[in-house]
Amino acid sequence: MEIKSVGVVGAGQMGNGIAHVMALAGFDVMLNDVSGDALEKARAIIEKNLDRQVSREKISAEERDTALARIRTTMELPDLGQTDLVIEAATEREEVKHKIFEGIVPHLKENTILTSNTSSISITRLASRTDRPEKFLGFHFMNPVPVMSLVELIRGIATDQETYEACLAVVEKLGKTAASAEDFPAFIVNRILVPMINEACYTLLEGVGNVRSIDQAMKLGANHPMGPLELADFIGLDTCLAIMNVLHEGLGDTKYRPCPLLSKYVEAGWLGRKTKRGFYDYRGDEPVPTR
């Protein structure tokens, strides 16, 4: 099937990025969130990011205007029912995702493909609670969506080939590259990346290095563009903890035990950039390490 319209559930950092790239690639987009304020903020962010692309001559002003015109917003989940592809991009909590799918399934067209942008949760399990496990796929974008060129496509045990190929065609139309992953906890990128962040947290907890020295060591010693603790703040410490919990519970290996220091930061509400404090304090002109 050819996909022409896309519904995006969740107008946060991932959702607005997905809406941005979909609209720019020519898809009609319906962006949904439970919060009207979140939808207004998302639209402003999309416009700002498109303006940046115009200023850098990545796109034309006409392309920006056309993309913005393709994006509609709604607080009503059933409004997404007539789209060809739905991408759920809500918080990384399985019960929330199940509730979203239960709310939208009765309103979907027969051939609508249902996907999740989850970074770690079982696609097979999410699909099993819907009426179309064969038309359910993991559609995992990297953050920030307009910049990163990779999309992980994750087939559940029931996902059919037609669904996979339709979503692969979408990724190609976006000008991005698809990596096919099997449905195991955290898939490919986060199976490797987040345990490295968790190990950096242990390195900090045990006093092997402080925040700045750990990040400098990995940037200059391993040529990483961002240090692991800086990256954790960018991703969100709550998201990192959620992924570690999925790995620990799903694989049953003690090497995936979440670092207690990571848990403490999350308990404190220090979730990184989005709360202005994490491993760094972002409330001043320059980020300052908190340990």
Is 143 labelled a binding residue? yes
The pLDDT of residue 261: 98
Q: Give the pLDDT confidence score for residue 19 in this predicted structure.
A: 98
Which structural domains are found in the chain, ordered by start?
A: 5-182 (3.40.50.720), 190-285 (1.10.1040.10)
- Judge contact between 135 and 160, C-beta under 8 A: yes
4-60 pLDDT tens trace: 999 999 999 999 999 999 999 999 999 999 999 999 999 999 999 999 999 999 999
Residue 135 in marked binding region: no
209 is in an annotated binding site: no
Closest Cα partner for 175 from 59, 51, 36? 59
**Active site amino acids:** 119, 140, 152, 190
Provide Rg for the chain, Cα atoms: 19
The runs of H, that is alpha helices, within the chain are: 13-24, 36-55, 61-69, 94-104, 123-128, 161-173, 189-205, 211-221, 228-235, 237-251, 260-267
Banded pLDDT at 253 (limits 50, 70, 90): very high
Reported confidence tier of residue 243, pLDDT bands at 50, 70, 90: very high
Number of Cβ within a 10 Å radius of residue 163: 25
For the cut 90, the answer to whether the pLDDT of residue 92 exceeds it is: no
Per residue in 221-231, pLDDT (tens digit) is 999 999 999 99
pLDDT band at 65 (very low <50, low <70, confident <90, very high): very high
The model's confidence at residue 259, banded by pLDDT at 50, 70 and 90, is very high
Are 166 and 112 in contact, with CB atoms under 8 Å apart? no
pTM confidence score: 0.90
274 annotated ligand binder: yes
Nearest-angstrom CA–CA distance, 264 and 268: 6
Share of the chain above pLDDT 70, in %: 100
> Model confidence at 1, in pLDDT bands (50, 70, 90)?
confident
pLDDT digits (tens, 9 = 90+) for 183-197: 999 999 999 999 999
Q: Which residue has the tokens 């990384």?
A: 92
pLDDT digit string (tens) for 110-159?
A: 999 999 999 889 999 999 999 999 999 999 999 999 999 999 999 999 99
Phi and psi at 156, nearest 5°, equal -75, 175
Whether 248 and 258 have beta carbons less than 8 Å apart is answered as: yes
Average per-residue pLDDT for the chain: 97
